[in-house]
Amino acid sequence: MTGSLQTAAIENRISPESIPAVVLPTGARLPKIGLGTFGNDQYGAERIAEAVSYALSIGYRHIDCASVYGNESAIGIALNEAMLDGIRREDLWITSKLWNDKHEEKEIIPACEKSLKDLQLDYLDLYLIHWPFPNFHAKGVDVSSRDPNARPYIHENYMKTWRQLEKLVKMGLVKHIGTSNMTIPKLKLLLRDAEIRPVTNELELHPHFQQPDLFNFLVNNKIVPIGFSPIGSPCRPERDRTPQDTVDIEDPVIVAIAGRHHVHPAVVCIKWAIQRGQIPIPLSVTPSKILANLKATVSAPLSATEMRQIGGIDRNCRLVKGQVFLWKGSRGWEDLWDLDGKITPA
């Protein structure tokens, strides 16, 4: 960090103990805000790692990583420096994720070990299966490209992968395990068959995509919802945009509430997420925004009326559709999301 950023960090630091957290059945404390780290294409790994350093210096303790983001080794340097500067490992919450090309039983433990090595850690607080499919695509391909070997969800195979995650817990390499981009029917099968339950599911959640059924299912089953793209991913790459997409931070309800609180609409999205009961993991590489998002967790909450107004926004805008994971014969991206309540077959 530059000298002026270091000075800003000292002036702006919020005590990590004052940041709200979920206390899990293991006794672990999961901070109710994390920093996202998916953004190499726009910002490069070094800039994301700098954002991690700045975030830790002002009081963040939860960082959402993934091997596929391509920046775990840069983030590892930032984490190591933060610990040399006095942040205790046990006060950090570090998530990583198993990428789709590593679902084979023999690949999983080495994949986790690689993330640990890159992140310069002895254990992860949370390891997620990034997507419930072993399907993957070459970096940078168009959303219309298809992997010829792609398959739909096969529960038997998912459980083989899950068993290896359970093994990682038993080996002490991972404290908690969880899922990402799952649906209710898939989670029901996992809950039926898991020896170690998922503590979290990471899913897309923002005011224009509230997923109430899945959100309620998670809460009722004591699975903590971690909400990705909490601001509606306003700077996502062009390939992830469609003409139908709507913009959360331009929504008149959000803009009006932001005006009353004298904050950016993004901050309203963060407050809404935390008060609703999900954990937002906004990405930013801009110190003032990183700070604004952290402050959102400790400043004046939204009123019950404001929460109701946002809850009543009638949009259903999924941004991360996952088209590149579709298999031969599938009809469209909706097939990934089991919209009729049943797992879409081949």
Ligand X SMILES: NC(=O)c1ccc[n+]([C@@H]2O[C@H](COP(=O)([O-])OP(=O)(O)OC[C@H]3O[C@@H](n4cnc5c(N)ncnc54)[C@H](OP(=O)(O)O)[C@@H]3O)[C@@H](O)[C@H]2O)c1
Helix or strand or coil: residue 14?
coil
Write the interaction track for ligand X spanning residues 230-249; mark x where CB under 6 A is met and - where it is not.
Answer: xxxxxxx-------------
Q: Of the candidates 283, 303, 304, 301, which has an alpha carbon nearest to the alpha carbon of residue 293?
A: 283
Segment near ligand X (CB under 6 A), from 11-19, 31-39, 161-169, 184-192?
Answer: 31-39
Contact flag: residue 146 with ligand X (CB under 6 A) = no
What does 286-334 look like in DSSP terms, one character per residue?
-HHHHHHHHHTTTSPPPPHHHHHHHHT------S---GGG--TT--SGG
Contact flag: residue 267 with ligand X (CB under 6 A) = yes
Contact flag: residue 251 with ligand X (CB under 6 A) = no
Distance in angstroms (rounded) separating the CA atoms of residues 143 and 321: 10
Taking the least distance from each CB to ligand X, the nearer of 168 and 281 is: 281
Interacting residues with ligand X between 62 and 101 (CB under 6 A): 64
Interacting residues with ligand X between 198 and 227 (CB under 6 A): 202
C-alpha torsion sign, points 27, 19, 302, 53: negative
State the catalytic residue, choosing from 43, 69, 127, 153.
69
Nearest approach in angstroms of CB 210 to ligand X is 14
Q: Of the candidates 56, 59, 52, 54, which has an alpha carbon nearest to the alpha carbon of residue 17?
A: 59
Which one of residues 181, 201, 210, 278 is an interface residue with ligand X (CB under 6 A)?
181
Q: Are 174 and 165 in contact (CB under 8 A)?
A: yes
Which one of residues 31, 132, 207, 282 is an interface residue with ligand X (CB under 6 A)?
282
Taking the least distance from each CB to ligand X, the nearer of 201 and 344 is: 201
What does 24-70 look like in DSSP terms, one character per residue?
PTTS-EEES--EE---HHHH-HHHHHHHHHHHHHHT--EEE--GGGS
Taking the least distance from each CB to ligand X, the nearer of 236 and 261 is: 236
Active site residue 60: no
Catalytic residue numbers, as ranges: 69
Binding interface with ligand X (CB under 6 A):
36-39, 64, 130, 180-181, 202, 228-236, 264, 266-267, 281-286, 289, 292-293, 320
